Amino acid sequence: MKRTTLLLIALFSIAAAGNPDGIEITRLLDGMPDNQTYAEYLAERTPPGEANFTTVYQSLTTGAGDDIYVLVDSALYSGISANLSIWVSDLEAESYTVTVATSGTITPQTLRANLQTRWAAGMDGVVLIGEFDSAWFQGIFWTDIGYEEFPCDLYLTDLDGDWQDQEDASGAPNPDGIYDYHEDGSGDMEPDIYLGRVTAYNLSLLPSTEVDIVNAWLTRVHNWHNGGSGMPTTSLTYVDHDWRYSGWGSDVDLLYSTENESFYWPNVDRSDYYSRLENEPREHMLLCCHSGPMGHFFHTGGHAAAYLILAKDPQISFYNLFACSNARYTEQNLGALYSLGTDQGLLSVGSTKTGAMLEFDDFYSYLAGGMSWGDAFKTWHAYVAEGEAAGWDQQSARGWFYGMTLIGDPTLMPTNNSAVEVVSFTADSVDEGALLSWSVEDDGNLLGFNLYRGDGERLSAGRTKLNSSLISGDGVIRYLDSTDATGRISYYLEAVEAGGETTVFGPAVCNLYGEVAVETRLVGVYPNPVSGTAAVELEIAEAGVAELTLYDLAGRRVDTIHVGELTSGRHSFSVDGSTLTDGVYLLRLTSGSVVSTQRLVVVR
């Protein structure tokens, strides 16, 4: 469904909404330094040069897992190549297909174009190592906070949306280098890939060089991929005054069960936080506290500065920072210091602006279901970023979530305390409903499985059990859900062990179309990539007027392939790739209220 985005000028003339639950916004408090402005950032940034992407490594075989693109700053590459190669080998051992490339400092627009091409060829995620920034976004999202401008990594992960710089900070029609407009374009406004940053060039608080920081982090990541770090598989949920009634620790329990320890104000203060960092090694922490890029501000105890925090030598691997601007990677920030600059740090999730993560139950259920941090973050962000979560409007969702980013290795997974490991779990649309397939590895104590169909895209929306008795079997197990349900359906797999322990995996997601095997949609493009003529297969559920068009990634219409009546059923059209320049295009089928898109890559 097409969503309409307010222009920035409208943002200056309306009262911004808050959020459906009245949750206090994370913010910079009085006395904390202001965030760096876009102009200040440009003044100290390395000037971008010409695009010069050089592939230095490509996996020889295609793994069953995701396709990962690793882009390394050319000035950094030689100093980290040995440890980088070890990490790449770790990823390949986990069935990832890896491409490593280098580049000098480039504009966000050049980087996005490169990612669009990689995505069209099958890329699932990217890791940026070095000085690679994203575009900035601006607007008034909270009337009591006012105008904000901030780095926005969604620009690099939503690769088929339309981003425009139409106005300046006053709302006048004068482009100023900061984006203020985002809508569906030729696709949607959700992340298409996951992204992890390893941005250490500006961490001047650390005594080490950028090369040393990244090498030490790569060593820790290698250790984690090969059995963990020896850290206790425990978690800390630490929630300050303004969210003391949130109960968010129960959401973290979805992942860490009895191993998560939760504290809420008044049992939260600065000195206690210091003590826990110094004396309590843990795998994970969710911290909820008003903050800035280089510190937290506790209701009891006041300001906790970054240099004092580092002096406590935090022993935590994964950080979820519900903390204003704590991951503002264009300047020195605690998100990077925690994950890249401490002895056990691996990854942090946080925001470059006011706001932070909410809907924690969804995020932690994705992690508990076997997703990596990157996949869980992408799935969560796709659901919340445009206000699709129940009760959210687009404006308040942007205020909370548009600054969200991930610092570290997105392929990492939290420790799974279950003896059951799901090798694969998929859901595919078939004429009779949904065909579910899965395979697992276990230690012999597995009794069987339960399957659940989600009552919505969110686990918290409820679920319906499909089987009356435990499902068992060896190898690849399949189950047909003969359902009349339609739309985007999520499925969950529950493994039941002999001792009564259960672990839920998923979601596996597919689109169901009821009695019609396939809804109006683009079926495929063959061949793709194409150098000559490509066949475009599409299906129409109900006879009517249909339009098939071709767009470039700037959202410009390149060709109208068909406009007119089509009968119900399958149809085929052709596209002459020889008349197009090399690059990525988007085919768009519109029929009634249905819009379906697919990528077309032209290589001549």
115-128 pLDDT, tens digit each: 999 998 889 999 99
The answer to whether position 474 is within a domain reads yes
Query: What's the pLDDT at 6?
Result: 32
Query: What's the pLDDT at 602?
Result: 86
- From the list 155, 149, 154, 43, the residue with the least C-alpha distance to 108 is 155
Q: Which residue has the higher pLDDT, 134 or 323?
A: 323
**What distance in Å separates the CA atoms of residue 81 and residue 266, rounded to the nearest whole number?**
48
Same domain, 572 and 549: yes
**What distance in Å separates the CA atoms of residue 57 and residue 96, rounded to the nearest whole number?**
14
Same domain, 540 and 489: no
Tally of residues, the chain: 604
Indicate the range of 49-53, 76-80, 186-190, 354-358 predicted with least confidence.
186-190
Alpha-carbon separation of residue 304 from 235, 310, 324, 329 (angstroms): 21, 10, 14, 19
Number of domains in the chain: 3
Dig out the tokens for 33 from the structure. 């330094």
Residues 570-598: pLDDT tens digits? 888 989 888 898 888 888 899 987 888 88
**What distance in Å separates the CA atoms of residue 453 and residue 507, rounded to the nearest whole number?**
9
Per the CB < 8 A criterion, the answer to whether 437 and 488 are in contact is: no
8: left (phi over 0), alpha (psi -120 to 50) or beta: alpha
Per the CB < 8 A criterion, the answer to whether 270 and 304 are in contact is: yes
Query: What's the pLDDT at 17?
Result: 42
Confidence of residue 51 (pLDDT cuts 50, 70, 90): confident
- Average pLDDT for 104-116: 94
Q: What average pLDDT does the chain have?
A: 87
Same domain, 592 and 505: no
Q: Residue 258: how many CB atoms within 10 A of its CB?
A: 8
The answer to whether position 88 is within a domain reads yes
The answer to whether position 313 is within a domain reads no
Q: Which residue has the higher pLDDT, 157 or 9?
A: 157
Residue 25, CB-side half-sphere exposure with 13 Å CA sphere:
24
Query: What's the pLDDT at 19?
Result: 58
**What distance in Å separates the CA atoms of residue 302 and residue 202, rounded to the nearest whole number?**
26
Alpha-carbon separation of residue 271 from 277, 308, 314 (angstroms): 10, 11, 14
Examine the fold and report which residue of 460, 478, 513 is the final residue of a domain before the chain moves on.
513
- Average pLDDT for 156-162: 93
In this predicted structure, the answer to whether residue 348 has a pLDDT above a threshold of 50 is yes
Q: Is the peptide bond before 173 cis (omega within 30 degrees of 0)?
A: no
Same domain, 558 and 454: no
The answer to whether position 290 is within a domain reads no
Query: What's the pLDDT at 373?
Result: 97
**What distance in Å separates the CA atoms of residue 601 and residue 604, rounded to the nearest whole number?**
10
In this predicted structure, the answer to whether residue 39 has a pLDDT above a threshold of 90 is yes
The answer to whether position 128 is within a domain reads yes
The answer to whether position 204 is within a domain reads no
Same domain, 460 and 552: no
The answer to whether position 234 is within a domain reads no
Same domain, 467 and 535: no
Residue that is written with structure tokens 């596209």 in the block: 575
Radius of gyration, alpha carbons of the chain? 24
Percent of the chain with pLDDT over 90: 55
Residue that is written with structure tokens 């973290």 in the block: 252
Per the CB < 8 A criterion, the answer to whether 586 and 573 are in contact is: no
- Average pLDDT for 364-381: 90
DSSP category for residue 48: P
Query: What's the pLDDT at 347?
Result: 98
- Average pLDDT for 285-307: 97
Same domain, 50 and 157: yes
Residue 171: give the domain boundaries. 8-183
Q: Which of 13-17, 61-65, 121-125, 507-511 has the highest mean pLDDT?
A: 121-125
Displacement of CA 376 from its chain's centroid (Å): 7
Per the CB < 8 A criterion, the answer to whether 401 and 385 are in contact is: yes
In this predicted structure, the answer to whether residue 456 has a pLDDT above a threshold of 60 is no
Q: Which of 300-309, 434-443, 530-539 has the highest mean pLDDT?
A: 300-309
Helix (H, G, I), strand (E, B) or coil at 451: strand
In this predicted structure, the answer to whether residue 217 has a pLDDT above a threshold of 50 is yes
What CATH number did the domain enclosing 459 receive? Answer: 2.60.40.10
- From the list 264, 267, 270, 268, the residue with the least C-alpha distance to 247 is 264
Same domain, 540 and 488: no
Alpha-helical (H) ranges within 96-190 are 108-120, 154-157
In this predicted structure, the answer to whether residue 241 has a pLDDT above a threshold of 60 is yes
Residues 503-561: pLDDT tens digits? 778 778 787 766 545 578 888 787 777 888 888 888 898 889 999 999 887 778 899 99
Per the CB < 8 A criterion, the answer to whether 230 and 283 are in contact is: no
Spatial CB neighbours of 134, under 8 Å, sequence gap ≥ 6: 108, 111, 151, 152, 153, 155, 156
Same domain, 488 and 557: no
Residues 470-503: pLDDT tens digits? 998 878 888 999 888 877 788 888 888 887 777 7
The distance in angstroms from the start CA to the end CA of the chain is 34
Examine the fold and report which residue of 513, 547, 565 is the final residue of a domain before the chain moves on.
513
**What distance in Å separates the CA atoms of residue 363 and residue 375, rounded to the nearest whole number?**
10
Dig out the tokens for 440 from the structure. 């697992």
b/e map of 4-16 (b: 16 or more CB within 10 Å)? ebbbbeebeeeeb
35-39 long-range Cβ contacts below 8 angstroms, 24+ apart: 35/150, 35/292, 35/293, 35/325, 35/328, 35/331, 35/353, 36/293, 36/328, 36/330, 36/331, 37/149, 38/136, 38/149, 38/177, 38/178
Same domain, 38 and 164: yes
Confidence of residue 267 (pLDDT cuts 50, 70, 90): very high
Alpha-carbon separation of residue 202 from 41, 207, 327, 329, 348 (angstroms): 12, 12, 13, 8, 17
Dig out the tokens for 357 from the structure. 């993560």
Query: What's the pLDDT at 417?
Result: 59
What CATH number did the domain enclosing 584 receive? Answer: 2.60.40.1930
Same domain, 497 and 537: no
The answer to whether position 454 is within a domain reads yes
Same domain, 20 and 83: yes
Per the CB < 8 A criterion, the answer to whether 406 and 349 are in contact is: yes
Examine the fold and report which residue of 131, 163, 183 is the final residue of a domain before the chain moves on.
183
DSSP category for residue 94: T
In this predicted structure, the answer to whether residue 14 has a pLDDT above a threshold of 80 is no
